[in-house]
Amino acid sequence: MGGISISLCMIVKDEEDSLSNCLASVKELVDEIIIIDTGSKDNTKQIASAFTDHLYDFEWIDDFSAARNFAFSKATKEYIFWLDADDILTEENKEKFSTLKKVLPPQFDSVMMFYHLSFDGNGNPSFSSRRNRLVKREKNFQWIGFVHEYLEVNGNTFQSDIAIHHKKEKSFNDRNLGIYKKALQSGIDFSPRDKYYYANECKDHCLYDDAIKWYRKFLDEGKGWSEDNIQACGKLADCHIQLKDWGSAVQSCLKSFEYDTPRGEICCRLGYIHMEQHEYERSIFWYNLATQIEIPETKSPFIERNCYTWLPHIQLCVCFDRIGKLEESKRHNELAAEYLPDHPSVLYNRNYFQNIEKKEKS
């Protein structure tokens, strides 16, 4: 039987709640499973041993790339596939993966796959990215970065439609923030990417002033990837929104236009900023623009699909109601319903309109 051989390489720590589901979803697709444990104190290693004999310990040194590169060094098959313990492949994507394994042409050095990180009420992905998931072992591609590491890949990349589903089980923690702070104290020089991801960690921990400082450092340096620049502008705006610094929030959004045409995510932020200040005509302009923008499938690996579909219509429903244009308000609620017919906001709005009609008739 033809096809490529694949080593699955993973790093894990205290993943007893998710590891079994992850490995069960891919065990029939790979020829070798390599698990690197970085210090589990639960049943992770016992669970891993039920799926593979290739189980190794790695002393944790606050460096994700070091652990992942160690995992890759243990692989023996033609290609290396990597996952996190809270990732799974659905049945549909297992079939796609199985087909890819049989037919992938040898000229490809890596395979890009979707990464679905969150889902709407119907189970459809609402936020997705794309990552190199399958790479040719002989190329010896390396992981870069001690936190929020990335796989440095070159050569020919195959753009697949396979999707990995992220099913986060662990609660939010401050591990990564602590690693970054320790690195800063030790005098490590942050790369542009480190600056961006440290700002993200600060934002996620509600350290908005620190996040603003590091997003600005990242953007002012002018060395970031354009897609990270756009994301940074949006997140910088979010920090200013939390601090109710509306003018700075608007300027942060508008700065994203330096890197590309407007994105739905940015337009929805601008719509929200003006809505919060009761500037409904301005809000309508930006939300309406969000509904007209095509989802940038080929441009961006980071897409929040809600901002191109139901969300701006729901917000337009509110805005038009506030300025007394009830029919337009109803219309946008029904446009939102075309995407999510059972969304609580859609149902609430329908009830709201029915009550208004009853009052008018009585």
The CATH number of whichever domain residue 138 belongs to comes to 3.90.550.10
pLDDT of residue 1: 43
Determine, yes or no, domain membership for 175.
Answer: no
Which two three-digit tokens encode residue 263?
């994105």
Determine, yes or no, domain membership for 187.
Answer: no
CB 353 within 8 A of CB 326: yes
Query: Which one-letter DSSP state was computed for residue 297?
Result: T
Determine, yes or no, domain membership for 210.
Answer: yes
Determine, yes or no, domain membership for 183.
Answer: no
d(CA 26, CA 90): 9
Mean pLDDT of 287-310: 95
Could you give the 3-state DSSP secondary structure of residue 171? coil
Report pLDDT digits (tens) over 213-237: 999 999 999 999 999 999 999 999 9
Quick one: which of 175, 191, 211 has its CA closest to 64?
175
Query: Which one-letter DSSP state was computed for residue 80?
Result: E
Verify that 37 and 65 share a domain, yes or no.
Answer: yes
Determine, yes or no, domain membership for 249.
Answer: yes
The strand pairing partners of 131, in sequence order, are 113
pLDDT band (50, 70, 90) for residue 168: confident
Verify that 83 and 222 share a domain, yes or no.
Answer: no
Which two three-digit tokens encode residue 360?
């008018």
Of 220, 239, 255, which one is at a domain's C-terminal end? 255
Mean pLDDT of 176-188: 96
Verify that 277 and 347 share a domain, yes or no.
Answer: yes
Which two three-digit tokens encode residue 61?
């040194």
Report pLDDT digits (tens) over 41-73: 999 999 999 999 999 999 999 999 999 999 999
Residue 18: which domain range?
Answer: 6-166
Tally of structural domains, the chain: 3
Q: What does pTM read for this prediction?
A: 0.90
Report pLDDT digits (tens) over 108-131: 999 999 999 998 878 888 899 999
Of 220, 255, 290, which one is at a domain's C-terminal end? 255
